[in-house]
Amino acid sequence: MSSNRRAVVTALKIADVGIVAATFTFAVAASIDFPDPVTWPEILEMRVKLQNFLFLAVYFAYWHLVLKSCGLYRSYRLSAAAREMRDLTVAVLIGVAPLVALGPLMNFEFFGLDFLVMFTAAALIGMCVERRMLRAIARRVRRYGHNLHNTVIVGTGNKAIALTA
């Protein structure tokens, strides 16, 4: 794997986990019922338990393994977009599955059906949008002559000419 490809894949991995973290935060904030309007200083003063921090660190590492094992870091350049979206859907469902089992056991105050639905939908939509944007950027980069490879076609006739188009 070239160093450019390795850098792009590493950036994609970081972006994917970032999207999962952002959508998790969004779903938690949307599912907690605050009695009064909460200000930023009050949010920053909230205490975070070590148990919650460790859970999130392990959970986001689990997401990385799920996305990697579902093959989402291989090239989809020649694949249909629907295939990538299908693989993303499977990965999101597998990524959310531990919350269904561990949520009630961990006694999270935000955990509920509304949280699960919001988190699943936001994670899927966020990663689908991210992947579509990256495909558009890659297409534009290739259109301007970058990230192209030389290929030798051995053959004659109309089939060889059609292959070049």
pLDDT tens-place values along the chain, 165 residues long: 677 778 888 888 999 999 999 999 888 888 777 666 667 676 666 666 787 788 889 999 999 999 999 988 887 766 777 888 899 999 999 999 998 887 777 777 677 888 889 999 999 999 999 988 988 887 787 777 666 567 777 888 888 778 776
Largest CA distance in the chain: 76
The residue range of the domain holding 116 is: 3-164
Torsion-angle region of residue 72: left (phi > 0), alpha (psi -120 to 50) or beta?
Answer: alpha
Amino acid at 107: N
CA distance 80 to 26: 30
Helices (H), the chain: 3-31, 40-45, 50-69, 81-106, 113-143, 157-164
Q: Check if the beta carbon of residue 131 is closer than 8 Å to that of residue 88.
A: yes
User: Measured in whole angstroms, how far is the alpha carbon of residue 140 from the centre of its chain?
Assistant: 22
Per the structure, the count of domains in the chain is: 1
The length of the chain in residues reads 165
CA distance 114 to 100: 12
CA distance 30 to 7: 34
Q: Check if the beta carbon of residue 118 is closer than 8 Å to that of residue 31.
A: yes
Tokens representing 6 are 């390795």
